[in-house]
Amino acid sequence: MKNNCFLILFVFLILLSCQNEEKWYPSTDVTIASQYEYNDPSTLKKQIFVTCVVHNTSNTTINSGAVTFQVKTDKREYLQTIAINTRIIPSGKIAVNAVIAYLDNTEQVKPNGVIIYSSYFD
């Protein structure tokens, strides 16, 4: 009888720990916080500066990851990936910046032309 109680308690604890199991895997909410175009005086190239916020929505610490930005202009599309080697604690947030130089100084970013193309965290 005593062994059965321990077995039932053990099974109950395992089932309880499996609830919300997805919260133990890294999950994030990545959003664009700001963007602006400017002419870099050192290179004389038009660029766009993009900042996104990475919010750790899981119950586990994120140790690294990557965010890929997509910028669509009136002439072409750009992709840039930024590696992240900063720990993000559960519920924590960090800002990630990217600078993308245009090939043509006359390009203009399209409305809603800056998006998070993909992200990965572990």
- Does 3 map to a domain? no
CATH code: domain of residue 77: 2.60.40.1470
Give the structural domain span for 31: 26-121
pLDDT tens profile 85-120: 999 999 999 999 999 999 999 999 999 999 999 999
- Does 82 map to a domain? yes
For residue 47, give the nearest of 96, 97, 103, 95 by alpha carbon: 103
**pTM of the entire structure?**
0.79
Instruction: Judge whether 87 and 62 are in contact, CB under 8 Å.
Output: yes
- Does 17 map to a domain? no
Backbone angles phi, psi at 73, to 5 degrees: -105, 180
- Here the tokens at position 112 are 């809603």
- Does 102 map to a domain? yes
**Stretches in the chain below the pLDDT threshold 70:** 1-24
Number of structural domains found in the chain: 1
Reduced to 3 states (helix: H, G, I; strand: E, B; else coil), residue 41 is: coil
Write down the pLDDT at residue 107: 97
- Does 2 map to a domain? no
Count how many residues are written for the chain.
122
- Does 20 map to a domain? no
- Does 109 map to a domain? yes
- Does 15 map to a domain? no
